[in-house]
Structure 1
Amino acid sequence: MSILKKRVAALEGQLKLGLEAQKLAIGKLLTDKVVRLEKIRSFEDVEFQIFSQFGDDGIIQWLISKLDLTQKNFVEFGVEDYRESNTRFLLMNNNWVGYIIDGSDDNINLIRESEYYWKYELHTRAAFVTRENINTLMSDFGLAGDIGLLHIDIDGNDYWVWKSLEVVSPEILILEYNSVFGAERAVTIPYNADFQRTDSHYSNLYFGASLKALCELSNNKGYAFVGCNSAGNNAYFVRKDKLIPGIRELLPQEGYVQSRFRESRDEEFNLTYITGDERLDMLRGMDVVDTNTGELVKL
C-alpha cells in the first residue's frame, strides 16, 4: 500500500471513530431522556436509533431501565457485520457482555477487526443457526440458564429455532416477525434447515412467522408480549416473572404493527415498492404451517 493510501486509510479510521463517539454521546443524552418516562402509550414514545436499524435502541434502553434484570448479557444472531444491530448500543453504552452469531465468516472476521471488539467483551461465532444446533451453540459459548436479552433475527426459521431453544432463559426477548402474514393467523414457514430467504420466493417476502404464532409460542414458554417497534418488524417479550405493573401484556391484535418499509422484489429482483395487502397477494398459494394444528395450509 502506498504512503498516500495509508494516510487516507488512517484518516478514514479516525473519522469513523469520531463519528461513533458522537453517536454514542447523542445516544447517552437520548437514553437519559427516555428512561425518565414512567408511563408510555406505546414503544414509539421511547424509540431512538443509534446503531439499530429502526428505533429499537431506545426501546431496549427503556426496558432495561424499568425491569429488575439479574443478568447483563445478550445473545443476538443474524447480525451480519454488526454495523447495524439492536444490541451494539447495549454493548457500547451499557457495557453488557455480548454473544453474537452470523452465518458468514467474512462478517465475523470484520467484527473481530473492529475497534469495539477489543474495547468490550464481545464473543463471536460464525455459524448457520438451526433448530438442531441452537442449544449446542449456546453451550459452546458457556451459556446456561438466565441471560439478560435474546434477539432472534435470522430471516427464516425464527419460530422453529425459538421453539427448540432450551438451555438459556432470556429475561427480555426480541423476535422478528413477518407482518405480511397479518395479525390474525398463527403461521410460520415450514422448517427447512437450509432455508434462504432470497431463494425461497422471488418477492423476498416469504420468511419467518406471523406475530400471533410467535406470541402463542412465547406465551407457552412463559413470556408476555409487550409490544412491537413502530417499523413493524420486531416484537418484544418479557419473561412473566420479570413483568411489572407499568408494562402491560398485550394480545397480538393489540400490539400488531404493519410494516411500511418496501422491500419486495419482482422476478428480476428489482424493488417493486408495493405496500399493505398487495404484498400478501404476491405470496398467495405458498405453503405455511398452522402452528396450532401443525398442518400445512396455503396463504
Structure 2
Amino acid sequence: MRGTFLALGWAAASAKEYSKTYSFMADRLECEGQCTYCRHAHNQHKWAEIRSKIGHYVYSDPDDDSVLARTEHHQVQNLINWSWTKGVNFECILGIIALRLLSFGYSDPLQFNVYDDPNFGVLDFLDTFNAHSGALDLLTSSWAALLAGGWPVFKQLHLVSKKLIDVMDDRPMKYPNLQTRPNECDEMDAEEDLNYRDAVVHGLKSGEMPALGVHLLAIRRSSGCPVGTAVALLGVALEMIRSRGMYQGSLKDSGNLVYALILTAQDTLNTWVHTKMNWSPFFDMLTTKWPIWEMLSSLACVDSTRPCVTRSALQCYDMLHRESVVCPHQSPQSRSIFVACGEHDICTWPDSFSNLDAKNWCLSHELRAPLKARPWLRELNHDVEERVCSQCGQDGVLRTIFRNVGFREQSPERRSAPFYVEFGARKPGMLNSAVLREFCGWEGVLLDSQPGETPHGGCPHCPGVSIVATEFVTAENIVELFKKYSVPHDFDLLTIDTDFNDYWIWRALLMDGTFRPRVVAVDFNPDIPLHEAKVVRYSAMAEWDGTIYTVGSLLAYALMARAHGYSFAYALEMGSHAFFVRSDLLHEEDVNMPLRFVKKNSHPPDPKQRDFVDVLYDFIPGERVGAASSQDSDLVTEVQRLRRQLQELQGTPAVPNDRRSNGPLSPGFTVSAATSFFEGVRSLG
C-alpha cells in the first residue's frame, strides 16, 4: 500500500505501547499467555524447559537419525500428546499453542477432519486449525512480544505452511475446495513484486539478503499483495539488526525503529485481514509464496548464538588492550535456544516433569577449592544458565562457579553452611540466593528497603519476606551494615541488585577491604556499549525509575573488580547480571579472560537525559593488585601528567593520593582523583 511510509513514520512517532495495540489473548493466575510470570517457580521452570526443548527440536536437522535425535523426537512426541490432555491448556497458553502447532507441522495438517469430507473447504480448515491450536488468534497479538519471547511459533507456522502447500499439490486431491482456491493475495503481484520476492527467498537460503535499498524500494513501490509489503518492512528490520547493530529494546519504547518496522508490518497485514469477514486471509498467509514466516523466524529470539530483535550477537572485549576479540569460549550445545527471564512469587522445586532432584543438584557444603586450580572459564556459556528459582539463569551459573571454586575454609571448631548476602531483596522467592536458602541449606542475610514490594507488583505476604531485614543500603552505610549483621569477612556469595547505586556500593566495600566474598554477582547495564566504562551519578537515596539510567556498564565493574583482586567470570545471555570471582581462586589463564557480553536495548530512554559518569580511568590497569606491565605503567604516567596539567590550568595544587581524594559526587562520598580529573576535563570543554 502506498501509504506505508506514512504509516511507518506514524508508528515510530506515536507513544502507544504494544500492549495497547495488540495484546495476547489470555491472562491467568498461574501463568499468563507469554509465560513470563508464574505464581510458583516450578511452573516457570517447567515452561522454560519445554520452550528450550521444542525450540531445539524445531530448529534441528530433520534428517538427523542419531540415537540422541530419536530420543529427543520421542520426548517431544510425549509433550505433544500431553498438550492435548484436558485441563493443561490454561496453564501456559502460548506453550500449548507451540506444542499443538507441532502436530500440524510434522503430520497431515488436515488430520483433524475426522469425517474425511471431500468438500472440506478453506473456512472449514481454518476453523478446525484455530479451534485446535489457537494459532490464528495468536497472530492478532503483538508480533514484537512474540519475537522477543523465545517461542519458535513463527518457524512452526512456516512448517505448517509448507505442509499445507504440499497437501494442496497432491494428486489426486481429496479436498478440491482447498486445491482449486487460488491465493488471492499472490494474484495481485506484478512482475516487479515477483522479482523482489525471488530475491528475498534466495537471500534467506544463501544467507546473503538483498541490500537495504532493495527493501526500501519495495516499500516505496508497495507490493500488490500486502504480505509482500510486510516482508519488505521486516527485511529492513533484519538489516538493521544484522548489519547496523540496532535492536527493538523495550516494548514500551515505541520510538525504536525496529519496533516501529515490526508494528507497521503487522498493521499492514492487519488492515488487509480486516477487509474480509472471515478467516480466509489467514489461508492466503499460510499458502502465500511470500516468505513471511521465514522472515519472522529470522527475527525471533530463539537462538543464543545469533542476534535478534532484542539483543546483539555475542561479543568479547579485551579490557587490557581495549579491543574487541574473538570469544575463546566453547559454543553452547544443549541449551543454545534462548529462554527469556521471568517473574514468580514463590520458590518451589520443579516437579517430576524435569527429573531434577534437590539432593543431587545442591553442592556439598564440604566442597573446597582444588589444591591446583585448572582453567575453566572458557567452559562457561549459555548451557550453564539454569533457572530453578532465580529470575534468569543465575542458579545454574552459580552452581557451576562454586563447583569449581568450592566454599570458604572454616575452622574445625565451627563448621557452618555456605554464607550469602543479597540486597535488594524485595521478592525473596526469585533471588540468586532463593534456591540456595530454600533447598540447599545455605545461611545468610537479606536486606531491602521495602521487603515484598516491587514497582511491577509486589508480594508482601510471600514466603521469605519476613526474614528480609528492612535497610536502605548506601555506599556510606554498607560496611557498618555488614558488621551489624555479623557477616563473615570471607563469606561465599554477595549479590548486589539495588537497580541503581550497585557500582558505588560495591566500590565502597572494595575500598574498605574488610569483606572479601569469594563470588560477587551484580546487575549491569547492557544498553551501554562494551568499550565504555560509565555509571550513574551517585545519589545515596536514589532509586531506579525504569529507564536506561541505571547501575553501570560491564567494563566499569570489571576495571574496578580487577584493581581489587577479582576477575570477570560470566555475564548472562538472557539477562543483565554479571559474575566475578576472587582472582586467588582461579588459574592464571582465567584471571584475564575477555569480557563476554550480549548487548541489549533493555530499557526505554531517560526523559531527563541525565549524564553517566565516565570511570574509565577510575581504576586503571596499572593500579590493580599484582605487578603492572610496562604498557600499564606508561598509561599511569600519562594519566598523572594530564592530571597535573589540568590542575595547573585550574590553579589547584596537585594531590598525591590518586585513589581516594578529590571530587565528591554527593556530600560525604568521595571518588577517585581520576574520576574528578575526567569531570574537570568535561567542565573545561
Question: What is the TM-score when the length of structure 1 is the normalising length?
Answer: 0.73
Structure 2: distance between partners of 1:217 and 1:144: 22
Closer/same/farther in 2, CA of residues 245 and 32 from structure 1, 3 Å limit: farther
Q: Which has the higher strand share?
A: 1
Matched-pair contact (CA < 8 Å) for 1:226–1:249: no
When residues 129 and 245 of structure 1 are mapped into structure 2, their CA distance, relative to the original with a 3 A threshold, is: same
How far apart are residue 114 of structure 1 and its match?
Answer: 5.6
CA distance 1:111–1:170, shift in 2 (3 Å):
farther
- Offset at residue 40 of structure 1 (A): 5.9
**1-structure distance, mates of 2:599, 2:359:** 26
Does the aligned pair in 2 maintain the 1:148–1:172 contact within 8 Å? yes
Residue by residue, what CA displacement relative to the aligned partner does 1:38-72 show, whole Å, maximum 9, x if unpaired? 78643311111111111111111111112132161
Q: CA RMSD in A?
A: 3.5
Mapped to 2, the partners of 1:29 and 1:222 lie a distance apart of 36
- Asked whether 1:223 is paired with 2:566, we answer yes
Write the distance in 2 (CA, Å) between the matches of 1:143 and 1:41. Answer: 32
Aligned to 2:542: 195
Distance 2:377 2:612 in 1: 38
SS in 2 for 1:145: coil
Match of 1:78 in 2: 424
- Aligned with residue 168 of structure 1, among 515, 524, 531: 515
Partner residue in 1 for 2:440:
94
Q: Give the Cα–Cα distance (whole angstroms) in 1 for the partners of residues 377 and 503 of structure 2.
A: 31
Assess, with a 3 A threshold, how the Cα gap between structure 1 residues 170 and 179 changes in structure 2: closer, same or farther.
same
SS of the equivalent of 2:538 reads coil
Kept in 2: contact 1:174–1:236 (CA 8 A):
yes
> Residue 75 of structure 1: SS of its match in structure 2?
strand
Work out whether 1:128 is the aligned partner of 2:472. Answer: yes
Residue aligned with 2:469, SS: strand
Matches within 5 A, 1:1-299: 22-23=349-350, 26=354, 28-29=356-357, 41-70=379-408, 72-105=418-451, 107=453, 124-165=468-509, 166=512, 167-198=514-545, 204-244=547-587, 249-252=592-595, 255-259=596-600, 262-264=602-604, 286-291=610-615, 292=617, 293-294=674-675, 295-296=678-679
Q: How many residues align?
A: 254
What CA distance in whole angstroms lies between the structure 2 residues aligned with 1:31 and 1:44? 24
Q: In 1, are the aligned partners of 2:529 and 2:553 still within 8 Å (CA)?
A: yes
Q: Distance in 2 between matches of 1:286 and 1:100?
A: 31
What CA deviation, in whole Å up to 9, does each residue of 1:236-259 have, x standing for no partner?
11101111479564223xx12223
Deviation of 1:205 (Å) = 1.4
* 1:214 match: secondary structure: helix
Which of the pair has more CA radius of gyration? 2
Name the one with the larger helix percent.
2
Counterparts of 2:540 and 2:505 in 1: how far apart (Å)? 10
Change (3 A) 1:143 1:182: same
In the alignment, which residue of structure 1 is the partner of 2:228?
none
Instruction: Give the SS at the match of 1:162.
Output: helix
CA offset at residue 283 of structure 1? 7.4
Aligned amino acid, residue 250 of structure 1: M
Other structure's SS at 1:150 match = strand
8 Å Cα contact 2:488/2:515 also seen in 1: yes
Which residue matches 2:62?
none
- Stretches of structure 2 lacking an aligned partner (at least 5 in a row): 1-38, 44-346, 364-375, 410-417, 618-673
| Counterpart code for 1:168 | F
| Counterpart-to-counterpart distance in 2, 1:39 and 1:173 | 15
Q: Percent identity?
A: 23
- SS state at 1:180 partner: coil
Shift of 1:224: 0.6
Give the letter for the 1:69 counterpart: F
